[in-house]
Amino acid sequence: MTDITNEKPEEGKQVPPELEDEDSEDEGAPDVSAAGGEASKKKKKKKKPKKKKKAAEQSEPPRVGLSKLFPSGVYPEGELQPYKDDNSYRTTSEEKRYLERITCEDPDTTYQNIRRAAEVHRQARQYAQRTIKPGMTMTEIANLIEDSTRALVEENGLESGVGFPTGLSLNNCAAHYTPNAGDNIVLQQGDVMKVDIGVHVRGRIVDSAFTMTWEPTYDKLLEAVKAATNTGIRESGIDARLGEIAGAIQETMESYEVEVDGKVLPVKPIANLSGHSIDLHQIHAGKSVCLVKNDDQTKMEEGEYFAIETFGSTGRGRVIEGGECSHYARKVDAPHVPLRLTTAKSLLKSINKNFGTLPFCRRYLDRAGESKYLLALNHLVGQGIVEEYPPLFDQKGAMTAQYEHTILLRPTVKEVVSRGDDY
């Protein structure tokens, strides 16, 4: 989501050596009786070999929860990138290795939570990439992704579930669009669609996005934004300054051009969008990784999570709010104010129970059983308790693209937790 800015013999009885391993005897071998050692006519039964349990396999569409695919509770690491320059020592530092072992022993900070969320994201998005095609409605696409996410993560209230509403922003809409109830928009052959998916496990949020197009004209736009995101990931690290990372992103993005109807258009980074730090149950945790060089001397720190996301445009490179709002979130620092509307009190109770401070959309309120809630929702927004995030648009006729990964600044190494074979 975008930031703006076995049995033993009886005791004492001797067992002849030839009977010590009964399983090795041929069927029908004599049985020595205690009375006279006469051969018994009873035949020994061979033990049947135990059948090995068949490993769980994922279904299509994906509906097998990850706990069945990874019964050990250990999930795949993301892509590991060593720190560079002054931080290169961290890879072999005994002190940093010890710190990492201690971190992994703490159930509240263990990397397995975020890796589980990342594996859910990989499987859900790869299914989406195989399945989405022009002619589908936005609601069909959103349900396709979110049904997979909920099944894979084994949704359980605030313990695990969808991290934020699935973004399906089209063309000049860069971010924060997901269909509301009654939306009948159909994906077209010439559309450029940003797919922004969130997953969380115990509040650890994985935020990762990609762009889909069926029109080769805009391949260079997608290439530019993907390259810029990879630049941002490469330049990120402990003690890296946010303003300098932004400069590297901008330089990469602006080195690309797109030819549309015989006209060459520069790819521009969208200046008022940015990546962001992530905290527990908090998608935007305060630090912003902008897309245009600036003087921000704030440093990334050990142990932090960041969503490195970049947006490119063939338009002016700035977005404004517009259209019908779908995205909302209760503020982390929401004020305690008296609510005059009984419906607003009831709605806030439902939001706290179902989402906490995780972003949600109107479809999620519908799913939670809420109805006729718009007045109450707007009241919560007006009181500063809930933040609304309307869709963000560049100029009409422009095309925008987005790529994003979540990175973890571990003590010894940088881990791109959401990386997969697809991008």
- Around Cβ 239, how many Cβ atoms within 10 Å? 13
- Name the catalytic one among 121, 200, 276, 405: 276
Tell me if 176 is assigned to a ligand binding site: yes
Question: Is residue 10 flagged as an active site residue?
Answer: no
- Name the catalytic one among 3, 146, 279, 309: 309
302 near 296, Cβ under 8 Å? no
Tell me if 309 is assigned to a ligand binding site: yes
Give ∠ CA 330-407-298 in degrees, rounded to 5.
Answer: 75
Q: Which of 354, 7, 317, 325 is nearest to 162 (CA)?
A: 354
- Name the catalytic one among 146, 191, 196, 235: 196
Question: Is residue 415 flagged as an active site residue?
Answer: no
- Name the catalytic one among 121, 200, 284, 379: 284
320 beta partners: 393
CA distance 265 to 394: 15
Tell me if 284 is assigned to a ligand binding site: yes
Question: Is residue 281 flagged as an active site residue?
Answer: no
The three-state DSSP-derived secondary structure of 353-391 is HHCCCCCEEHHHHHHCCCCCCHHHHHHHHHCCCEEEECC
**How many residues make up the chain in this entry?**
423
- Name the catalytic one among 146, 394, 404, 415: 404
Question: Is residue 27 flagged as an active site residue?
Answer: no
Question: Is residue 261 flagged as an active site residue?
Answer: no
Question: Is residue 26 flagged as an active site residue?
Answer: no
Q: Which residues contact 107 (CB under 8 A, 6 or more apart)?
A: none
- Name the catalytic one among 119, 207, 370, 415: 207
415 near 80, Cβ under 8 Å? yes
409 token code pair? 């600044």
- Could you tell me where the beta strands, DSSP code E, fall in 37-138? 79-81
* Catalytic annotation, residues: 196, 207, 276, 284, 309, 404
Extract the annotated binding site for substrate. 176, 284
Q: Which positions make up the binding site?
A: 176, 196, 207, 276, 284, 309, 404
- Residues in binding site for a divalent metal cation: 196, 207, 276, 309, 404
